[in-house]
Amino acid sequence: MPKLTGYALLTLMIVFFVVGSAFAQEAEGDDDGSLFKYIAEIEIWVAQPTGLDYSPATVFDATNPFFEVYQRPTHGTSESFRYAGGLEFRRDAGALMLSYLEHRDEDVLLGESSPGNYIFTTSMASPLLAGLNDDGLADGYDSQFDTTLRDLRINYKRAAFETNRVNGSWWVGVRRVAHRRIANASYYAIVDGLPPLIPPLVTFPRPDLDPRPDVVDTASRYSGRGLEMGMEFETAMLKSKKLKLRASVGMAFLRGKVRSEYTSISHAFTFQDPLTGVTTVMEPPYDLFGEIIQVSAGGALGPAVDFIDQITVVDSFLDEKRSLSGSVIDTEVSLNYQIHKTVEFYGGFRGSSYSNVGIESRREVAQIGNQLLSSIASEEQSAEYEGFFGGVRFHF
């Protein structure tokens, strides 16, 4: 026997409630021959996400170390389609609707450079060995952000009250929200300022010693579900009642899990002492790059750079199935015009706030004495979407 989940039970309860309600009213008379009508909606929502709080870097003011300016990408508007369909029951027995929305805010780019001026903090990178000079500073960065929202709703809506000026209705339902945040950043040492590796110090170029950028990849994938409820108010704008103004507010409480991934790739220069064979990680300011050293026990001299290498250091972790309780608040105002008894156009403005639907994890390193203590810091993230929408609704 298949296992019934709580949401399946809730859905069944709503269905029984609606059907039962319809039958109850049908028994009271005023029957036109069918229990319900179909409703289909297609809608475009040009929404702009805000509050995502991506920040790949801060600008560091060398003259005032306590003053930093957060750099954040600008998220433009992008259109998304919302599809809905359901049953509208006769004699004010309410409507059962299923809707699906997917909003993609992809390829949002943010990059700056000030070659030679190390004023950008490598905010997303692991602090260990971050930046050319291991000080968490870069003279340029590129970052990319992708945010995807998927929102599936099943709800039942029914009239609550009716007056001469305004009609009110309520709805309850279930909601499933998936929110994905992907952020990538690269931090550069565009002008490294290292001693020039040109003749006569070296005979051939050493592109392998060009400082490689620190690269960070992060991802947060949230999936949550929960109950939702709300109210809608409607008032006729014309005597014919073909033009109506609707305003609604709703909220949902989500229980979900989030999976976060983090990978930070840094680099370091190493020097293998030609006399002892011991390899050490070099520390800034890397003067050894331009020096002539003794390279053999016999006293022969040679450039130290011949014994310098660049290594890659990877810091990566995965936080899987972490519980995270979220919530959604929707507000909406729209004008609806019914041009035919089966066709209705509508348009308006909608704002949806998704709280705690993602986390941002970063590596933190604290130094206590000579000990470096590493930890992972996580912060819940939210998202808000707002923008105009327009659509068409069919009743048949």
Partner 1 sequence: MLRVLATVGVLLVLSVFTIGCDSTQPIGAGPVTYEVQMSAVNVIGFLGGQGIRSYRVWEMYEDNDNNGQPDDIDMDGVPDLFNFCRDLLASDTSHVNPTSVPWSYTVEISVIPAGTTGEVIVSSPAGLTDDPLINLSRYDNSSRPLVLGTSQPTVMIDDGGMMRTFRFRDPLKLSQAHTRVARSTSNPLSDFDPMTYGLGNGLCSAIDPGPTVVDGQENFLVDLSPGDTIIVRARRGAGAPMGIETNGREANLSGTLSQDGLTVSVIGSASSDAVTGAGFSFSFTAR
Query: What residue ranges bind partner 1 (CB under 8 A)?
Result: 74, 76, 111, 113-117, 140, 142, 188, 190-191, 193-196, 198-201, 213, 235, 237-238, 243, 245, 290, 292, 333, 335, 348-349, 386-388
Helix, strand or coil for residue 341?
Answer: coil
Taking the complex as a whole, how short is the minimal distance between the CB of residue 387 and partner 1, in angstroms? 8
Q: Residue 3 gets which letter from DSSP?
A: P
Of 305 and 357, the one with the shorter C-beta distance to partner 1 is 305
Q: How far is the CB of 388 from partner 1 (least distance, A)?
A: 8
- Shortest distance in whole angstroms from residue 188 CB to partner 1: 5
* CB of 240 or CB of 371, closer to partner 1: 240
Task: Tell me the C-alpha to C-alpha distance, in Å, between residue 24 and each of 28, 87, 90, 159, 366.
Answer: 7, 17, 11, 16, 68
Express the helix, strand and coil content of the chain in percent, nearest 5 each: 10, 65, 30
**Closest distance to partner 1 from the beta carbon of 59 (Å):** 16
Minimum distance between the CB of residue 148 and partner 1, rounded to whole angstroms?
22
Using the Cα atoms of residue 190, residue 194, residue 199 and residue 204 in order, give the sign of their dihedral: negative
Burial tier of 91 (Cβ tally within 10 Å: 0-12, 13-18, 19+) = middle
283 and 326 Cβ atoms separated by less than 8 Å: no
CB-nearer residue toward partner 1: 330 or 360 = 330
CB-nearer residue toward partner 1: 111 or 274: 111
* Backbone φ, ψ for residue 282 (5° rounding): -75, 155
Nearer to partner 1, 9 or 292 (CB): 292
88 close to 36: Cβ distance less than 8 angstroms = yes
Select 94 or 211, whichever has its Cβ closest to partner 1.
Answer: 211
CB within 8 Å of 130: residues ≥ 6 apart: 122, 136, 187, 214, 264, 266
Comparing CB distances to partner 1, the nearer of 136 and 211 is 211
Q: Which two tokens stand for residue 205?
A: 């170029």
- What minimum distance in Å lies between the beta carbon of 147 and partner 1? 17
Q: Is the CB of 178 or the CB of 243 nearer to partner 1?
A: 243
Residues with Cβ within 8 Å of 369's Cβ and at least 6 positions away in sequence, in order, are none
- Minimum CB distance to partner 1, residue 226 (Å): 28
Nearer to partner 1, 262 or 269 (CB): 269
Minimum distance from CB of 36 to partner 1 (Å)? Answer: 31
First-last CA distance in the chain: 37
C-beta of residue 261 within 8 angstroms of C-beta of residue 318: yes
At closest approach, how far in Å is the CB of 234 from partner 1?
13
Cα 333 to Cα 388: distance, rounded to the nearest angstrom: 10
Pairwise CA distance, residues 389 & 43, whole Å: 7
